[in-house]
Amino acid sequence: MKKLSLLFTKDGLQWHISKGKTVLEEAFHFVTEETSPHLVEEKLDDVLKFDDYKEIEVISALNHFSLTPDTFAGHELGYKLISYNAPVDEANEELMLSVNKKFAVQFYYTFPKHFYQKIKAKKLPTKFNFSGEKFLNALTVKNHKEIHINLYHHQVEFFAFENKKVILYNNLDADSEVDFLYFIMFSLSKINFGTAETHFHIYGETHENETFISELKKFVKNIKLKDAGCWMLDVK
């Protein structure tokens, strides 16, 4: 039997279909001016129509979220917390929670209710997660200032760490790689991370975002590129 792994981003849907550690099929779909505005839903329907999955993994990189300590228990405030970062439509968005014990934080996030219902209707073991939590769980950090950047198609998320503690997380939609650079550098200035002392690690769609990386290299000296591609949909 097969595992279906879905990644929802700002303007797209990506998936892997795997069996054991073998990827049988992968697909990348993005809404453009030439596609249907309902492309994501249409492609979700297409991949869900098959009946030979044994489990489903869903990762949301949609940037409707709020980060709190994992000791925070005011779950009824989830929508309100998210509303400080992004518009919230409670009638059409499911409130979700992803906890990261490794760094003692948790993410409240929303996920489109009609997508949630379509996936749950398959009646299969399903794990929902937020991209920030999955990214965070995969990281190894040291005792200095670090920025870990995960690049997507027209989207970026990043963590700032100091002494192995999460200082900041954010997630940005942007059509311009210059906007990514401004976003990162502005965030550094707000948390007093100097470019000379901070270590940068970059993951994800590095080939698609080469301009961002080349411009970043003009400002920082400690930078490492990790494996390219959509590693968020890993095979285990």
Name the pLDDT band for 233 (thresholds 50, 70, 90): low
Domain holding 48, by residue range, is: 1-136
Higher pLDDT, 233 or 53: 53
Contacting residues for 111 by C-beta, under 8 A, at least 6 apart: 8, 58, 60, 62, 93, 94, 96, 128
Interatomic CA distance for residues 233 and 236, integer angstroms: 10
What stretches of the chain show up as alpha helix (H) in DSSP?
A: 39-48, 78-83, 113-120, 131-137, 177-190, 210-216
* Residue 60 forms part of a structural domain: yes
Name the pLDDT band for 235 (thresholds 50, 70, 90): very low
Same-domain status, 189 and 201: yes
Same-domain status, 59 and 144: no
Interatomic CA distance for residues 37 and 31, integer angstroms: 6
Count: domains in the chain: 2
* Residue 154 forms part of a structural domain: yes
Provide the CATH number for the domain around residue 159: 3.30.420.260
Pairing state between β 223-228 and 199-204 = parallel
Q: How many CB atoms lie within 10 A of CB 2?
A: 17
Same-domain status, 150 and 114: no
State which of 118, 136, 154 marks the end of a domain.
136
pLDDT of 236 higher than 80: no
- Quote the pLDDT of residue 234: 57
pTM of the model: 0.93
Same-domain status, 97 and 1: yes
E strands, the chain, where? 2-9, 12-19, 22-30, 53-60, 65-69, 93-100, 105-112, 126-130, 146-152, 155-162, 165-173, 199-204, 223-228
pLDDT digits (tens, 9 = 90+) for 128-137: 999 999 999 9
pLDDT digits (tens, 9 = 90+) for 174-206: 778 888 889 999 999 999 999 999 999 999 888
Paired tokens of 192: 């007093």
State which of 112, 136, 160 marks the end of a domain.
136
Please compute the mean of the pLDDT values over residues 208-214 and round it to a whole number: 87
Cα–Cα distances in Å, from 231 out to 8, 16, 32, 111, 213? 14, 11, 23, 21, 18
* Residue 194 forms part of a structural domain: yes
Paired tokens of 6: 């879905």
pLDDT of 65 higher than 80: yes
Name the pLDDT band for 146 (thresholds 50, 70, 90): very high
- Quote the pLDDT of residue 154: 86
Share the mean pLDDT of the chain: 92
Same-domain status, 36 and 66: yes
Same-domain status, 8 and 110: yes
Q: How many CB atoms lie within 10 A of CB 34?
A: 6
Interatomic CA distance for residues 82 and 86, integer angstroms: 6
Paired tokens of 79: 């929508």
Same-domain status, 128 and 172: no
Same-domain status, 37 and 127: yes
* Residue 198 forms part of a structural domain: yes
